[in-house]
Amino acid sequence: MKHSYKTEGTVLLVENVSVTIGNKTIIENINMEEHNTLRDGHAQGQMIAVVGRSGRGKSTLFKTITGLRKPSTGRILIPSNEINKPIEVQEGTVGFVDQKYTLFRHLTIYNQLKLAARKGGIPDGEIHGRVMDLLNKWGLEKAKDQYPCHCSGGQRQRAAIMSQLLSSGYFLVLDEPFSGLDVGNVEDVKSMLRLVNTSHELSTIIFSTHDIELAVELADKIYVLGFASPSKQVGTVVASFDLKALGLAWQPYSQSHTELAKDIKTAILGS
């Protein structure tokens, strides 16, 4: 059964973005427009996957979307507190979890989260409660006084995601969150992302992955980043797939998903 949905308002607008480092253009001509998805009876956020071969500029695009790198041309707009007044993204307005789940090495998990909450503008009186809440919900209460170097990769990743949720709210960009995880951890991260995604109407998650089946299973929109042509090694969007319109979003994995994955792989291999 195809779920019905509506879209309303833009949650992300990437307009003609390019990034040139030194004299090498890494990505160019990137355009993305994502709308707030509305489903009756669901708090439904957006889940966007970016796929493509290595070196096509996924990480560079993510740093630009999170304001950590200024685009050389174009702009990136996200909604602000005022309706119909989008703002240009700045560092910190969008959460970013890099591939190595970097944390502060000199702080315990609890203190990392406290610091993140303070930077996120949560009132001092509420910080402890909010942090403990998250720690309990994500099964990290036992590790709360450990330093990152004594945590497992999975624990560090969860702590990194929680930090960003506390400081930046519910717009989250994750660079290859599934790479290097064992089967159990992959399931954990999947359910974590779904939890974040359904916890808030405006929640928007963008992630990159090399696991195309996983992208098709989780995302409601998929962008393929690749080189425009073999002679021009600059990353750009070579294809995009709207799983909502295709009736594949929020569905159990089916034959149609498998076929879509095949199409996406073809698009990747050609770019």
Partner 1 sequence: MASMKKLVTPFEVLKAPHNLALVAFWLVAVIGYWYLSTTGQKHLLPSPQSVLRGLGEEYQEGLVPHIFSSLSLCGQATFWALLVSLPLAYLSTLPLFMPVIQGISKFRYLPLTGITFYLATSPLISSGRAMQVGVLVIFMSVYFVTSLLSVIADIPQEEFDHARSLKMSRWEVLWHVIVRGRIDYAIDILRQNLAIVWMMLVTVESIVMSAGGLGTIIKNADRYANHGRIFAAQLVILLIGILLDYLLSELRYSFPYVNRGSKN
Ligand X SMILES: Nc1ncnc2c1ncn2[C@@H]1O[C@H](COP(=O)(O)OP(=O)(O)O)[C@@H](O)[C@H]1O
Contact footprint for ligand X (CB under 6 A): 21, 24, 26, 52, 54-60
CB 182 to partner 1: min, Å: 22
Nearer Cβ to ligand X, position 50 or 135? 50
Contact with partner 1 (CB under 8 A) among 64, 155, 157, 167: 167
Quick check: 57 and 27 in contact, CB under 8 A? yes
CB 92 to partner 1: min, Å: 3
- 3-class DSSP assignment, residue 145: coil
Name which of partner 1, Mg ion, ligand X, none residue 264 binds, using a CB cut-off of 5 to 8 Å depending on partner kind.
none
Residue of 168, 118, 157, 113 whose CA lies nearest to 135: 113
Name which of Mg ion, partner 1, ligand X, none residue 57 binds, using a CB cut-off of 5 to 8 Å depending on partner kind.
ligand X
Residue of 69, 64, 68 whose CA lies nearest to 12: 64
Q: Beta strands 6-21 and 73-78: pairing type? A: antiparallel
Quick check: 92 and 172 in contact, CB under 8 A? no
Tell me the C-alpha distance between 37 and 77, whole Å.
Answer: 17
- 3-class DSSP assignment, residue 103: coil
What is the distance in angstroms between the CA of the first residue and the CA of the last residue of the chain?
33
Name which of Mg ion, ligand X, partner 1, none residue 98 binds, using a CB cut-off of 5 to 8 Å depending on partner kind.
partner 1
Indicate whether 59 belongs to the interface with Mg ion (CB under 5 A). yes
Nearer Cβ to partner 1, position 174 or 224? 174
Name which of partner 1, Mg ion, ligand X, none residue 119 binds, using a CB cut-off of 5 to 8 Å depending on partner kind.
partner 1
Q: Closest-CB residue for Mg ion?
A: 59
Site stretch for Mg ion (CB under 5 A), options 51-59, 231-239, 247-255, 256-264: 51-59
Nearer Cβ to ligand X, position 79 or 235? 235
User: CA dihedral in degrees (157, 13, 170, 258; nearest 10)?
Assistant: -60
Indicate whether 163 belongs to the interface with partner 1 (CB under 8 A). yes
Residue 40's Cβ-count burial label (10 Å; 0-12, 13-18, 19+) is exposed
Residue numbers at the binding site for partner 1 (CB under 8 A): 63, 66, 68, 91-92, 95-96, 98, 100, 102-106, 115-116, 119-120, 147-150, 160, 163-164, 167-168
Residue numbers at the binding site for Mg ion (CB under 5 A): 58-59
